[in-house]
Structure 1
């Protein structure tokens, strides 16, 4: 292997692990609600299960970043994905031994959800060091990382829908367990500066988490991005977890549900990859504003539940528009956060994403049974569009175009890094591509 290939190996291993773990979750996104609807026939029950899995995500994601900063990034990813694999495999195992009911489904789904945020946070905090080693601009790495995550949810739901039709939703969950297991093997081979036990760990779980919360809340841009993401997640997650499954269960078309979710993820992949190029042509604030408003408009078009080919077009457009949002949020975290706090900031920002999810899920089930799928979908999509229209012109988003608050690596590049005040693993942005100061 060439020297360049060796430098890229950690990034390739990291992103392949992200793909496999995300694919397993993508399968579960289709399989779990389908399993609940098949066993109970109740949209409210599907909403209860979705909400029950979202509730522990809030707490576990809040402290997951502190866990990363306490025991190390690589170790956290290994333990988290291994426990996720075991908890998901328990669902078909319990069904075979004892028989599943709604209580078992809720309990095991909750157990599986608890471990996911730590693995996600750990892999994301490894990204700047992996990009540094490969000699990539951090914006390029963010775009690829989010595209890989989108690709996982492109492959996972489609595979999930096909497997449900072939072997049923319970057996399909073995695929999720396999994805996590393979991710563990890949992360075990990753070697990066800053991936082991931290030199300056937080003084405790709750004190470290509180420090991360204070940091995010005192930074106007990070606080705004966290709150906007909360609203978007609360209004969008019920679309994938309740509304679309109910619609396609009524139609008797599990494969179409998978295809719709695949179409959204395909759009996310393209949008995330394109965000690195678009960021050179327009200001980041402009890119984010357009992405938010177009996402809301496209989701409203999908909410009318038009003919299936038209639904596919709107689904692609939703993903394409939303694609730049997460890379831009990652960029803000990486360039406004010191190395020692990165795990906690990523964990806190992720927890904001989960915070409003349970309310959205619990609202969606009764809303469907009261108003019907189409009207409930229109209500949620209309609210999301209104939220994006309000958020897009906020002046605080101008901070996205400010120079990085924390400096890039010293001159000499990723292979010739010198000792200095910038810690190993800090984001690396080649000087030729640094953004000029924002005027005015």
Structure 2
């Protein structure tokens, strides 16, 4: 079995962690700002229009372009490079987010313009998030740490930003207005772009060889290079059974999670009489536990066998939270389950992201990561709408049972299939020239490592969305 610790980049001092710290800081700042807008923008629409339908449409107009933007940005990330693309995307995000309060203050923000700006926010933010995550293998290599640990650090800070962002948004909205919260988000994107520009990895070692290989391909390529590159990413994802299974699984779980957070929890809280206090308690317990789980994963995920850890984590974090609500168990039981849910889910993303970053060759990292992230996020805009229709038609309890079954069927049962054994195959990086525009063979043995799934680094970043479960 290959060593799990990636060798340090020959062009960098051993143990250098400047790029790692810069990426973590940039990711945290940008995500914190994003959480401000996620609260402030719907609130702005709600208080100015009084329409829940218009508020929902704004969220939908941001979510759909975000998913599409991720899918289409991959070839550009590979061509331009993750670092410059991330800087550009964050600066565009800062401008677009800042236009919302500016146009409002200038009395030039009709509802149609707001929908366009919401779509632009999604288009800019989604690819920027992907570009940041694709820097993870290089910064982990330079820092001399396993990908699971780098991914765990990203996940921990993401959980912290996800917990602190809404609280800060609430305070800013209460003291000032949602417009100032969005202004703060724009400044966060500027800070993120500056951090990446100053500290982001500039390439070295295997990454430099991958970039040289990509430039050679570009020089040999003819017309429609972008479409050719996009098709290469689609073909790679389609033929890699494990990556394809992970992407589909994330699409289902993100759909259910979106329904759970946006609709099922509020309906449950109303039915049991707990109201906002129950929602707040549940969110706080899960958020704190998720931070702890991510911290534990940072320390231990690289030492654990991946497939058993993944299965156990999803058995704890999946069906139980729906079942305790369906059986109308006391609030303290629901909170205890939420505590276990948060601790367990922290181990999932480091594992999944390590696998994805290892299996994707460096020259294809941007486009395949973007496509995987896009497929995994595709269910998010549909989750609340489908759940709302189902609860209206059948009631809350049947929908909760259905969600528990769907979670089990999409997470644990696929992991029992033979090709999921590759989850434990920590793969060393191969020469990028050996993986040029190749795709894995569907019939390859589970234990064999085809050249087309060469590792991006020896031995992952969140979701992601992105990729996040």
Q: TM-score, normalised by structure 2?
A: 0.76
- Give the Å deviation of 1:187: 0.7
Distance 2:393 2:111 in 1: 22
Secondary structure of 1:357's counterpart equals coil
Encode CA deviations 1:374-432: one digit per residue, 9 max, x unaligned: 876665456435533433433322111124163499xxxxxxxxxxx9xxx95245xxx
For residue 457 of structure 2, the aligned residue among 422, 427, 438 is 427
Q: Is the 8 A contact 2:19 2:200 kept in 1?
A: yes
For residue 102 of structure 2, the aligned residue among 88, 93, 96 is 93
Q: Is the 8 A contact 2:360 2:456 kept in 1?
A: no
Distance 1:383 1:101 in 2: 41
Q: Is the 8 A contact 1:333 1:346 kept in 2?
A: yes
Q: Equivalent residues in 2 for 1:26-175 (5 A)?
A: 26-41=35-50, 43-98=52-107, 102-175=111-184
Encode CA deviations 1:8-59: one digit per residue, 9 max, x unaligned: 1111011100000111112223333334444455554444333322211222
1:289 corresponds to 2:298: no
More displaced stretch, 3-12 vs 151-160: 3-12
Instruction: Tell me which residue corresponds to 1:232.
Output: 253
Unaligned runs of 5+ in 1: 410-420, 430-440
Q: Is the 8 A contact 1:58 1:355 kept in 2?
A: yes
Encode CA deviations 1:314-342: one digit per residue, 9 max, x unaligned: 44433322222221121112221211111
- Give the Å deviation of 1:183: 0.4
Unaligned runs of 5+ in 2: 1-11, 433-450, 460-469
Secondary structure of 1:31's counterpart equals helix
Q: Is the 8 A contact 1:33 1:242 kept in 2?
A: no
Secondary structure of 1:346's counterpart equals helix
- Give the Å deviation of 1:227: 0.7
Cα distance, 1:179–1:299 mapped onto 2, change above 3 Å: farther
- Give the Å deviation of 1:128: 1.4
Cα distance, 1:206–1:306 mapped onto 2, change above 3 Å: farther
For residue 295 of structure 2, the aligned residue among 243, 252, 273 is 273
Q: TM-score, normalised by structure 1?
A: 0.80
Q: Is the 8 A contact 2:321 2:334 kept in 1?
A: no
- Give the Å deviation of 1:287: 0.9
Encode CA deviations 1:43-79: one digit per residue, 9 max, x unaligned: 5444433332221122211122211111111110101
1:221 corresponds to 2:230: no
Distance 1:426 1:364 in 2: 38
Cα distance, 1:104–1:118 mapped onto 2, change above 3 Å: same
For residue 351 of structure 1, the aligned residue among 355, 374, 396 is 374
Q: Equivalent residues in 2 for 1:250-329 (5 A)?
A: 261=283, 263-279=285-301, 282-300=304-322, 303=325, 313-329=336-352
1:211 corresponds to 2:232: yes
Q: Is the 8 A contact 1:69 1:340 kept in 2?
A: yes
Instruction: Tell me which residue corresponds to 1:401.
Output: 424
More displaced stretch, 94-103 vs 298-307: 298-307
Secondary structure of 1:358's counterpart equals coil
- Say what the alpha-carbon RMSD is for the aligned residues: 3.6
Count residues with an aligned counterpart: 413
- Give the Å deviation of 1:255: 9.5
